[in-house]
Structure 1
């Protein structure tokens, strides 16, 4: 059984990796440019320009740490930033790595003294806030479409089709949070499904408690969550705009918002780790359709994803290594 599972994971990793590399390799050709011209444009960036982008990127992560700290009462913003970086590093490397990143974050919070129930509430709240934030950006972009004539890049019909499963999940969450009876009914239904795998599932009893935990956290921290998430999204928008501006091209605010909305929307599709390949191809194609110069748009998007996806891997890896080293020293001292 273990061998079969290992073989299945290996095949999945190879197929996902091949698909990702193919998407990224074909990206410039799909919009009428080449990696040679894109690389030449990226090579003109100065170190001060890269430093400015890095500061905006770090500021965005720090703003997001307010969301994480408010979602788990007692968590400091420094530890929230640690959870964000380490979880993203794992999720960005492994196929369907979100589960592995969540497992790592669970181990870290347990090490800091938080209960599994508290982490369950934290996971539910942060997932809900992140999805609502992404949908909010998409909603703003759709609202601006008739004025800015960006509907060609974010058509309502296709966008609605992509959002159907996400909106269905949000409706289920709202129903779950609506009352204790809803949580009990959800737990009872899930127990019947989970009973095929586990002999004694207890979701009927635990989900109402999780609901109370989530509502308590939201009531106490909604202001910090909202402010932190809005600041994070504005800094992401600023980072995207700076990536294009420093490469010699500028896009109007409505077009930038549309580009960010498409990027946020495509990250909801977990085909590849962190949506790499899918996000770049979809966003670049949309921005070129809105009049962006192919080489500049491709280079700017690769630069943006270099910070929001690629850089998180080594930075998160180093953060995880330091965390493990500190905890090992404490264990030895104890």
Structure 2
């Protein structure tokens, strides 16, 4: 058995190893993101000078318009968050969204850090850990289902909007999507399906590490259904409005650059962008989304320089802007709650 000094030494060494591992992961992740963004124009057959020439044409008035649409989309999403945690105000929902995204967008695998931050904020507002767990389950499910729904709808429209060859390649690429959507609907509709799916996943994942999804999925299903029974209307309306405003923002990004892209192409591209945001190789999937989505635009007939410029402008709002705005909100929230610790009368305005 190790003595106390030896245990302390081992703890320090473990902490150092963990810190070094995180530092290396951060450096590699940032390097990969930078490399993907730097080589984006070349990857699609354009140059940075061509892309830059388009981006400098964006007027201050156009930036204001894009900002308004971006904020409107976030506000629409705050209805989803407020309905997912009864008692949460839309202002606080917006704060959770932006602060969590700010953390997730700068750290490798930052989703966990963003969730931990949101947990601390929700607990500070007086919600229990159990209610946060329900909130997290519902919002995660809605986020994934909304992305898969857009992808599945785009897949269904491919034979109508695009060529037969595009339908064949898209079907092969997106085949798991309708399967995942069907499985999710089945789990919510019937607890027996949740048990069966959990059991199957336990057998597959259990080869790598032990899981208890056979028991956890039915419990998760009940949590989700309890919240959705009362909040499904604002959740549905808020999510549809949010996705519609995301599509509007994407369309406007190309309009202000005077790059002509048809609405069917934009809808397909939004589906590709939604899919790639689920690939957590880099913080906020930065670089991966830009290269993959721009490549899809070019494959569908968009000018390479225009495709890269429009997508970078769109991601400037949906990814980059969330970092400083969320950081400011986090700083304000921290300052307000430090003050409420010494003056409880300020609790009503802290949030």
Question: Shift in Å at residue 167 of structure 1?
Answer: 2.0
Other-structure match for 1:171: 183
Distance 1:17 1:173, change over 3 A: farther
Match of 2:172 among 129, 154, 157: 157
Match of 1:17 among 26, 30, 33: 30
Give the unaligned 5+ runs of structure 1.
none
Distance 1:142 1:183, change over 3 A: closer
Match of 1:73 among 75, 83, 86: 86
Q: Tell me which stretches of 4 or more aligned residues in structure 1 moved more than 6 Å.
A: 201-208
CA distance in 2, matches of 1:251, 1:172: 33
Other-structure match for 1:36: 49
Match of 2:314 among 298, 301, 304: 304
Q: Residue by residue, what CA displacement relative to the aligned partner does 1:269-307 show, whole Å, maximum 9, x if unpaired?
A: 111111110101011011111110111111000000000
Give the unaligned 5+ runs of structure 2.
1-13, 345-351
TM superposition score normalised by structure 1: 0.89
In terms of Rg, which structure is larger? 2
Other-structure match for 1:119: 132
Question: Shift in Å at residue 127 of structure 1?
Answer: 0.7
Question: Shift in Å at residue 206 of structure 1?
Answer: 8.1
Other-structure match for 2:7: none
Q: Residue by residue, what CA displacement relative to the aligned partner does 1:223-256 show, whole Å, maximum 9, x if unpaired?
A: 1111000000000000000000110112111100
Question: Shift in Å at residue 185 of structure 1?
Answer: 11
- Assess if the C-alpha contact under 8 Å between 1:92 and 1:309 holds in 2: yes
RMSD: 2.9
Other-structure match for 1:109: 122
CA distance in 2, matches of 1:173, 1:119: 23
CA distance in 1, matches of 2:336, 2:160: 54
Q: Residue by residue, what CA displacement relative to the aligned partner does 1:106-162 show, whole Å, maximum 9, x if unpaired?
A: 00000011111101110110111111111111112112211221663961102225x
Asked if 1:221 corresponds to 2:231, the answer is: yes
Other-structure match for 2:100: 87
CA distance in 1, matches of 2:219, 2:268: 39
Distance 1:255 1:182, change over 3 A: closer
Match of 1:47 among 60, 65, 75: 60
TM superposition score normalised by structure 2: 0.85
CA distance in 2, matches of 1:202, 1:44: 55
